[in-house]
C-alpha cells in the first residue's frame, strides 16, 4: 500500500519536475516503488493472500498544476530514504523466510542508495541542512552524580544536551518540517472540508512540535534546522485524492510516534524523557481523528487479522 501510494505521488512529481539533476533520482525512486509493489503482489499471489487495493491512477492527477518546487521532491525522497532504510531493517529482522529476507535486504539497499544520492545532490546544490555540530572532549567522561539525569527539577541545574539527544531533536525537527510542508499542500488541495480541517490541525501540531524542539536545542545554544516553507506554491489544483492524502498523513504520523519512542528511550535528561511521550500522545490523537475520517469514507484498508475464536464459538452454538 505504501509503495503504491509512493508510485502515485512520484508519478505526479515526474510530470512537473524540470531540474535535470533531480529528475533522474525521482525516476529511480518511482521505478523502485513499482518494482517493490510488483514483487509483493507476486508473493501474495503465490500464497493466495488477497492483494490490497492500495492506490491506483484514480488517486493521482498527473496533469494537475505545480504544487511543489523541484527541491521539495529532492528533500522528500531524502527523508523517505532515511525512514525507509530504518523501516525495512525492522521488517528484515522480523522475517524468517529466505525469500522475504532477501526482498527486504534489497529494499534496504534501494532506500539507502536513495538517501545517499539525494544527500549528495542536496550538498552539491547548497540545499543540505547541516546537522548541529558540537565540540568533542579529548577525554572520556562519566556522569558525576544523579544531576546528569535532571531536567525538570527547578532546584538543580540542567546539563547541556549530549550528542545523542541533539541528534534526535534535530531529526524530529526535520521530519516535522516535512510534515508542515505536506499538510500545507494537502490542506490547500483537499476536496473535503473535513480533510482540509484535518490537514490544518496537522500543520499546527507539527509547528508546535518544531517550536518545542527548537526551544530545547536553543537552551544548549544549538542552532535549529531551518524551514522549507517556500517549497510549496499557492496552487489549489488537487494532484491527489483525499484518500491518498489521508493515508500519507497516517504513514507520517506512525513514523513520528516511532521516532519519538526511540528518542525517549535514548534520552537521559528527564525533561526529554517526559516531553517525547507527551508529544507522541498528540500524534496518537491526531492519528485517531484521521482514522475516524478514513473509516467514515470507506478509505481505511486493514491488514489480515487473526480469527476471533470467541465469535466462532458463539456462532457454532447458534
pLDDT in tens, 246-256: 999 999 999 99
Query: How confident is the model over 179-223, as pLDDT tens digits?
Result: 999 999 999 999 999 999 999 999 999 999 999 999 999 988 888
Question: Which has more pLDDT, 81 or 231?
Answer: 81
Beta-carbon contacts of 107 under 8 Å, excluding residues fewer than 6 positions away, are 36, 84, 88, 91, 92
Q: What are the domain boundaries of the chain?
A: 1-128, 157-304
Between helix 193-218 and helix 270-296 the angle, nearest 10°, is 170
Identical fold, 1-128 and 157-304? yes
CA–CA separation, 77 vs 114, rounded Å? 7
- The CATH number that domain 1-128 falls under is 1.20.1260.10
Cβ 178 vs Cβ 76: under 8 Å: yes
Q: Hey, what's the cell of 240? A: 491527489
pLDDT of residue 53 exceeding 90:
yes
| Correct CATH for 157-304 of 1.20.1260.10, 3.40.50.10800, 1.10.3720.10, 3.90.950.10 | 1.20.1260.10
Helix (H, G, I), strand (E, B) or coil at 298: coil
pTM above 0.85, yes or no: yes
Amino acid at each position: 500500500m505504501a509503495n503504491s501510494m509512493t508510485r502515485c505521488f512520484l508519478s505526479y512529481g515526474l510530470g512537473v519536475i524540470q531540474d535535470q539533476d533531480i529528475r533522474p533520482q525521482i525516476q529511480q525512486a518511482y521505478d523502485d516503488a513499482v518494482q517493490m509493489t510488483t514483487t509483493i503482489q507476486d508473493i501474495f499471489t503465490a500464497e493466495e493472500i488477497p492483494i490490497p487495493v492500495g492506490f491506483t491512477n484514480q488517486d493521482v492527477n498527473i496533469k494537475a498544476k505545480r504544487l511543489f518546487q523541484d527541491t521539495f521532491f529532492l528533500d522528500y525522497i531524502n527523508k523517505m530514504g532515511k525512514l525507509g532504510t530504518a523501516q525495512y531493517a525492522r521488517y528484515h529482522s522480523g522475517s524468517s523466510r529466505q525469500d522475504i529476507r532477501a526482498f527486504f535486504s534489497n529494499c534496504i539497499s534501494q532506500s539507502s542508495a536513495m538517501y545517499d544520492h539525494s544527500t549528495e545532490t542536496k550538498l552539491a546544490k547548497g540545499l543540505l541542512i547541516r546537522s548541529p555540530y558540537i565540540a568533542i572532549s579529548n577525554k572520556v567522561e562519566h556522569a558525576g552524580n544523579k544531576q546528569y539525569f535532571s531536567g525538570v527539577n527547578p532546584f538543580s541545574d540542567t546539563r547541556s544536551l549530549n550528542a545523542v539527544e541533539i541528534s534526535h531533536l534535530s531529526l524530529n525537527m526535520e521530519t516535522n518540517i516535512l510534515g508542515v510542508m505536506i499538510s500545507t499542500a494537502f490542506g490547500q488541495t483537499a476536496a473535503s472540508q473535513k480533510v482540509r480541517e484535518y490537514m490544518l490541525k496537522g500543520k499546527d501540531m507539527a509547528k508546535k512540535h518544531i517550536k518545542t524542539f527548537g526551544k530545547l536545542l536553543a537552551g544548549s545554544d544549538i542552532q535549529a534546522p531551518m524551514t522549507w516553507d517556500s517549497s510549496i506554491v499557492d496552487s489549489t489544483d488537487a494532484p491527489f485524492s483525499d484518500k491518498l492524502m489521508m493515508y500519507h498523513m497516517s504513514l507520517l504520523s506512525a513514523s513520528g510516534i516511532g521516532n519519538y519512542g526511540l528518542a525517549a528511550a535514548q534520552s537521559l535528561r528527564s525533561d526529554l524523557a517526559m516531553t517525547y511521550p507527551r508529544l507522541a500522545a498528540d500524534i496518537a490523537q491526531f492519528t485517531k481523528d484521521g482514522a475516524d475520517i478514513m473509516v467514515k469514507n470507506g478509505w481505511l484498508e486493514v491488514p489480515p487479522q487473526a480469527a476471533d475464536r470467541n465469535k466462532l464459538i458463539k456462532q457454532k452454538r447458534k
